Amino acid sequence: MREAMFIKRNAEKWKEYQHVPTSNPDTMAERFVTLVDDLSYAKTFYPRSKVTRWINGLAAGIYQNIYSNKKEKYSRIFTFWRFELPLLFKKYHGILLFTFLVFTLFVTIGAWSAANDETFVRGVLGDDYVNMTEENIAKGDPFGVYKDDNPFTMFVRIAINNVFVAAMFVLGGFFLGLPTLFRWPFILNVAGLWDTGMMLGSFQYLFFSHDLGWKSILVIWVHGTLEISIFVISATAGFIIAYGILFPGTLPRMTSFKQGIKDAMRLMLVIVPILIVAAFFESYVTHLMSQTFDKSSNAGLPVWVSILILSLSFLFIIWYFVIHPIRLHRRGYYIRPDGVIHRLKKEHA
């Protein structure tokens, strides 16, 4: 069909849609579907025509009207945590795996270097910290550092610090992920994956070298399971932004960059509350568990409490960020471009 004939047949309808708006949801939906059909035809046969842009503008106006007036249901929060976030993680499982493997490599390098160089631990953790830890071990209180402060003061300080570190992991993505991978060059004491991994490997080796490895796991990883896992996820969010800049695919680079920022910010919604829970564990549970292995104290928590919290934390991380997203994907759930959760219908033989 010639363009003039196409316009002649539909112009009155388009003018009505433009100048006679409706608030009836059924009529709006019918108009939107009609315009999408017309737009598809116009883009196919008249891609550079003004009429194509006109139809696109009309469809966009109705779309915005539908969703700007859409009332959010209370179940929206439930849907977000059950579907949206897990499906978002499924989208970026490749980057999550990359981040985990890189971080594991850095931890391994830190532990191996500490095992082969006596001065390495002090170089990474600092003389003051190592001396204090060795003094505590000699006194029979190897984890005394976790019970020095008031628990509530400790909780507030740790929560703020952890959220700040996680935010810096994310913001590193704006600089192609280099600060996320290594460290911020102009901001003191803000580590990247390299420094964090090296410190963790050296720190863990320090206790294993004094035959306190398993006790350190029962004390430190009560909070460390959530804390370290979320740091890895924060770094993943940073790499998502960097990926949007470096590998836009078929999208315009700016569009890909904006999408990366949007997705990274949505991940922050799960990062912050879990880091607060980790800070609570460190300030109260780890605080009590440190007394369990203090030879001069009869206080503390039973070992089974530590094992229970550690196990549940580990299972939660694996289930929510890995298993659940894969299950949703296999069941046909996906996020449409308009942000709506949709499920593919299975075809019956």
- Supply 272's token pair: 């912050």
pLDDT score for 338:
52
Which residues of the chain carry a pLDDT beneath 50? 69, 347-349
pLDDT score for 285:
87
- Supply 89's token pair: 């993680």
pLDDT score for 66:
63
Residues paired with 342 in a beta bridge: 334
Domain ranges for the chain = 3-68, 78-335
**Separation of first and last alpha carbons in the chain:** 39
List Cβ<8 Å contacts ≥24 apart for 260-266. Answer: 260/173, 263/88, 263/91, 263/92, 263/237, 264/170, 264/173, 264/237, 264/238, 264/240, 266/84, 266/85, 266/88
